[in-house]
A and B are shown apart, each in its own frame.
Chain A
Amino acid sequence: MRQEALKVSPSSQPSMTKKQSKYDEYKRRRKILLKSQAYIVGLISLLALWSIWGTGFNLLSLVFGTYEILVFIFTDMFPPDLSVIGSLISPALDTLYMSYVGMVISVLVSLILGVLAANNLSPHWIVARVSRSVTAFLRSVPAVVWAIILVSGIGLGPLTGTIAIGLSGIGILGKAYAEVLESIDENQLEGVRATGANWFQVIGQAVWPQFKAGFVSWSLYKLDMNIREAAILGLVGAGGLGYYLQGSINLFQYKEAATAILMIFALILLVEYMTAKIRERII
């Protein structure tokens, strides 16, 4: 009897307590997880409250303001003065040129910086760091600031806007390209590398096919964004529709300004439609 009891206990009872302690462990870990999630949610809420206080965000002013805004739009801006459309075509084209050439500049430079910054392709980690820092710097300076700096050197006009857009675009595309490149499948590169292919051949034959979709997507997205940016750059004298917009607002010609705004809207829709079509074709 005693021997039986002894036999039973090591097999059944310890396993029960083992199970119990495993469950406790599970509960303990779960509690830690929930606690850290609660901290994160709390932190985000605090930051939101702080920002609301800091910006003086007030729903009431939005409600009352809406009336004033509508009055302004309907009395001062409506109907848009469509007779100025003829004189808007050339500034609209300027905006398009600035956006497109700006994109081409950022694509060309970002391709080089992106490859150098991607950890899996970079010839050396120091090169990757330097390239990352350059793109981060270009990204941290907004296009408007670039434009203000460039206006002092190059003067007013679309060239200033183009370079400003190009420079800030490098910051964004360089980072985006590097991230796409870092997510490509290393095994495919290895397969090509094992045939005796050199670095450029691996880039062309194994990296490019994987990179193409992300490359096209990001570049077209930047073109899309550039139209918006180009309109804002006009406000600091970098030419295009924004420049015209600012001029008419300064002269209180709000009906002309309304036409310019509609024109910007039309351009954005056009580019969006075209980039969507191109993306469909290529990807």
Chain B
Amino acid sequence: MSAKSYDVVIAGAGSVGLPAAYHLAARGVKTLVIDPLPSPGQGSNKAAIGGVRATHSKPSKIRLCLDSIAELSSWRERHGREIEWFAGGYVFVAYHEDDRRELLELLEVQQSHGLDIGWLERDELIERVPHLSAEGLLGGTYAPSDGSASPLLTARAYYEEAVRLGAEFHFGERITAIIRRHGRVVGVRTERGGYATATILNAAGAWGQAVARMAGLDVPVTPDSHEAGITEPLAPLFDPMVVDIRPGEGVKNSYFYQRREGQILFCLTPDPPFLGTDRRETSGFLPRIADRMVDRVPILSRAKVRRTWRGLYPMTPDGSPIIGAVEELPGYLQAVGMCGQGYMLGPGVGQLIARLVSGALSDHDHEVLKDLSANRDFTSAEALG
């Protein structure tokens, strides 16, 4: 095999491409990752706020995220590198009867999948989240095994491990074409030349549709954007991620948590969504999020905001990722449309892709791939995706 020939070429060194490269390299697969940005995780990965939860309602996502949690929570032990994993849990709070009912219904489904999640009444919830406003609080769900880690440190950690295992990375290089012959993938062309490969993995996140088109394919991924922010580091206030599902003007929901290092991270889902790839700061974000956070935890009023940013959510019609091979083009794999959950899904997806490439899929894996197939029916959206 020539120096410019690889078993797998991955488009994108982000939340999905990095773990995929690591797991492929760990299985001895000769892997090249190509990213037009200058270093790992510089697309949407660094915009993630770091929440990782298995408490979804779709079995395939639950399975992938359980794998992610297992991997992230043991990372330091296994690799000796800090990624700041912390099992602080997730709470979804209800201040309206409708929200309470919705959460309780969902809880049944989640518990039926064996998830570690339960209902807390008002006072129990306040014990978990001291300073949470008690006024009108009706309780909420609590999933203690969920948590958070640093996307920035995680990206670096996967990158270093992948390099150590022999994966190659080309930064600042753009793929311009996916070369096909006799109906299958044979290589990629870039601004700087080309590479022979029988397998390309589209892990281009918000740019996944553009990469798919290079292969003559179409994948229903359209990015929108969310804004997030971070405060100064503070002494510990509370452990869990607090998800506030109450809709408001221009807001679908919002969430915040305190990192182990002390900063409060926060984010909201705009309604209607901001479609497109615009990542410029908006004047509406801070007033909206501040209003909601101060409602929920009044003492946060004095926490000083340090920085805000905007990141892209590669959305699919039903809010779930699109993962696996496609019938139309052998050698083309995709792991796209993470819908803003690329960071928490990434490690699990990376493992799955590595098993897929090396022919080591389990029965469970086949179920997951079927559930997340590009050919699925996209009309039913996941509850509280």
Check if A and B associate.
no
Question: Which B residues form the contact surface with A (CB < 8 A)?
Answer: none
